[in-house]
Amino acid sequence: MSPPLNCGCALCILEPRLLSALSSTDAEVIRELIPGSRLGNEISCAAELLSHLKTLTADAASDEFLRELLNVRRLDPTFIESVLILAFLPTLHATVRRVGKQQPGLSQDDIIQQTLSVLLQYLRSDELRSRQSHFAFAISRAIKRKVFEWAQRESRGYDTSHPDPSVIDALTEDDSFERHLLLRHFLHRCVTKSLITNSELNLLIDFKLDGGFVDSKNGSDENPSNAIRQKLKRLLRKLRRIANER
């Protein structure tokens, strides 16, 4: 997660206030909030907890860490929600900026208030409590979709049953972390539901890691490179069709 821009908006003003409030929380309280976890032994203050959260990538460790925080939210909702607000500030900033650009008639303060409200509502929702994985992905997407839907309702002259295509474009302009989450989630579901095979997934991974270079030894004897290229084209067409259907 990249740090948010310090643009002087209400979110920028909120950040140091939350950090100041969290700084009074000592290590013992953190250990009590995350009992039996290695995190409680590694983290000695709220700042380290937040720093660790911001460095997470879209993997199993991220899910485990966020799951623990969400499970103990009921013990100290103010502390946990403050940490998660700070962790998702880049997403909040990006959402406010895109909604403001898309709906210039809405005030920035109203958009920020609604964005924070959506985040807190989703953190307290049964939908999030029932999830078992992809927490960062779910939170990020819920913020964007719900705030854009609210902005459309607030703006006059919009038919909410047919969203403006530019709104959909704005929703997909995720930062690299969120694109990683979205792609990982999509491919995981494709393999789980047997829409693509593990060998097809490995082919995509190898192709990406090689920077688009086709390894001739993996193709046929007659024209290996062309065979792999054609296989990749068919696979990408299949993935596009699956994504469109969903």
Closest CA to 84 of 126, 136, 34, 33: 136
- Mean confidence (pLDDT) of the chain: 75
- With cut-offs at 50, 70 and 90, classify the pLDDT of residue 219: very low
- Are residues 64 and 102 located together in one domain of the fold? yes
- Are residues 202 and 135 located together in one domain of the fold? no
Number of domain units in the chain:
2
In a domain, 88, yes or no: yes
Q: Hey, CA dihedral for 6, 9, 10, 11, is it positive or negative?
A: negative
Tens digit of each residue's pLDDT (9 = 90 or more) over 4-55: 456 778 998 998 888 888 877 776 777 777 654 555 456 667 777 777 776 7
In a domain, 77, yes or no: yes
Both structure tokens of 1: 């997660």
Is the predicted pLDDT of residue 70 greater than 50, yes or no? Answer: yes
Note down the domain range covering 236.
194-245
Please report the pLDDT score of residue 56 as a whole number. 65
- Are residues 27 and 115 located together in one domain of the fold? yes
- Are residues 41 and 107 located together in one domain of the fold? yes
- Are residues 33 and 128 located together in one domain of the fold? yes
In a domain, 188, yes or no: no
- Are residues 216 and 163 located together in one domain of the fold? no
In a domain, 234, yes or no: yes
What's this model's pTM, rounded to 2 decimal places? 0.60
Q: What is the mean pLDDT of residues 105-111?
A: 92
In a domain, 118, yes or no: yes
Tens digit of each residue's pLDDT (9 = 90 or more) over 115-143: 999 999 999 999 998 888 888 888 988 99
- Are residues 41 and 162 located together in one domain of the fold? yes
- Are residues 30 and 61 located together in one domain of the fold? yes
- Are residues 123 and 209 located together in one domain of the fold? no
In a domain, 1, yes or no: no
Q: What is the mean pLDDT of residues 184-203?
A: 81
- Are residues 96 and 31 located together in one domain of the fold? yes
- Are residues 86 and 133 located together in one domain of the fold? yes
High-pLDDT (> 90) share of the chain, %:
14
Please report the pLDDT score of residue 156 as a whole number. 57
Selected residue with higher pLDDT from 35 and 73: 73
Please report the pLDDT score of residue 39 as a whole number. 52
